[in-house]
């Protein structure tokens, strides 16, 4: 427990004092992010709030504040911003509690499997709500629609994986040309998928299970327009949870029935597109785990490398029968280096 409000700006302290918090209110660390954001839960009696601190008033800080209002405007469950101090890059936000989806379902086995089925149904409903609102959000907020997660962004992700996992983590110096060609083809395939409002980091630590068992989303500052499969892939193949393949398939089918954007596609076409986006997302996650643990020195991310390898290999093996013949060499090379 922190002893005082020393981390908070004077204007944030004033806001808290005015709303019933005191210098002696309990302050606990409520979380952190690889970007340097910090979260602190302030408690006074039954009243709580969370203070978000940022290294600077950068784009992520500004987006968090704006996107909270946008998502709440289309009835997506995200925290309300109570107060903003742009000079200090601090926000006072609604407290969604301390229990994430990861906390509630991992590991998915025994009685937790039944709980996972209930919770993931709710998460998928909330995700579909956000995706269905895409058109209205893009029309009313063209700046969000302009934040396209396109070929360049997708190729950056697999380059990030190549640099941080294949080269720095494994120590490979030369890679077959088929690998770069395969990643370029993958980025093209995902770039061509229908685009929706996309969270961009839709994993179990960013989905909160509130005290009333309702679901809420956090860390949505990456909101943009991208593949309709990407967030679902982030959720269902999350290395933090390691969902069994049979459950992934079950939840994927539920999403296809609930989301109207799947109309007109065959079951096989939907599954292939989902697997392509899944490889894309897992490459990004693996690149992040290696970069944050080895380059940034944040050791807690290192433990996710092995689960990430397992999930990525599983998806690559599922995708192999559908991938173009020219990409099978890249698929085999990657699988061989994910053992």
* pLDDT tens-place string over residues 203-234: 999 999 999 999 999 999 999 999 999 999 99
Question: Would you kindly state where each structural domain of the chain is located, as residue ranges?
Answer: 10-93, 101-336
Calculate Rg over the CA atoms of the chain: 21
Q: What is the mean pLDDT of residues 236-245?
A: 97
> Taking the C-alpha atoms of 209, 214, 220 and 224 in order, what is their torsion angle to the nearest 10 degrees?
130
Please state which CATH number belongs to domain 10-93: 3.30.200.20
Strand bridging mode 215-217 / 47-53: unpaired
> Is the full-model pTM beyond 0.85?
yes
Angle, to 10 degrees, between the axis of helix 177-191 and the axis of helix 267-290? 120
> What is the per-residue pLDDT for 112?
87
> What is the per-residue pLDDT for 34?
64
Which tokens belong to 210? 């509130």
Rounded CA-CA distance 30/2 in Å is 11
Q: Which CATH class is domain 101-336?
A: alpha beta
* pLDDT tens-place string over residues 142-172: 999 999 999 999 999 999 999 999 999 999 9
Is there a contact between 237 and 281 (Cβ–Cβ < 8 Å)?
yes
10-93 against 101-336: fold identical: no
């Amino acid at each position: 427990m922190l002893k005082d409000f020393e981390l908070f700006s004077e204007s944030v302290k004033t806001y808290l004092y005015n709303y019933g918090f005191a210098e002696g209110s309990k302050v606990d660390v409520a979380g952190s992010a690889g970007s340097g954001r910090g979260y602190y839960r302030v408690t006074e009696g039954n009243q709580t709030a969370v203070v978000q601190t940022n290294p600077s008033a950068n784009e992520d800080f500004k987006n968090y504040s704006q996107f909270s209002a946008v998502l709440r405007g289309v009835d997506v469950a995200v925290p309300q911003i109570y107060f903003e101090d742009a000079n200090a890059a601090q926000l006072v936000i609604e407290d969604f509690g301390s229990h994430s989806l990861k906390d509630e379902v991992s590991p998915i086995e025994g009685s937790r499997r039944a709980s996972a089925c209930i919770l993931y149904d709710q998460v998928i409903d909330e995700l579909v709500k956000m995706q269905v609102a895409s058109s209205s959000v893009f029309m009313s907020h063209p700046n969000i629609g302009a934040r396209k997660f396109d070929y360049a962004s997708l190729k950056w992700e697999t380059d990030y994986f190549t640099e941080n996992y294949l080269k720095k983590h494994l120590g490979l110096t030369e890679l077959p040309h088929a690998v770069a060609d395969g990643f370029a083809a993958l980025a093209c395939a995902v770039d061509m998928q229908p685009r929706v409002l996309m969270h961009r980091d839709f994993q179990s630590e960013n989905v909160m299970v509130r005290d009333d068992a309702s679901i809420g989303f956090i860390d949505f500052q990456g909101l943009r327009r991208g593949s309709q499969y990407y967030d679902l892939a982030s959720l269902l193949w999350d290395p933090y949870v390691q969902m069994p393949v049979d459950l992934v398939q079950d939840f994927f089918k539920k999403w296809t029935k609930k989301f109207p954007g799947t109309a007109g596609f065959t079951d096989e076409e939907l599954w292939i597109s989902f697997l392509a986006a899944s490889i894309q997302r897992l490459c990004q996650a693996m690149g992040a785990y290696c970069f944050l643990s080895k380059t940034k020195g944040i050791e807690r991310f290192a433990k996710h490398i092995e689960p990430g390898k397992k999930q990525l290999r599983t998806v690559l093996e599922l995708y192999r029968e559908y991938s173009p013949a020219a990409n099978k060499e890249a698929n085999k090379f990657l699988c061989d280096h994910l053992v």
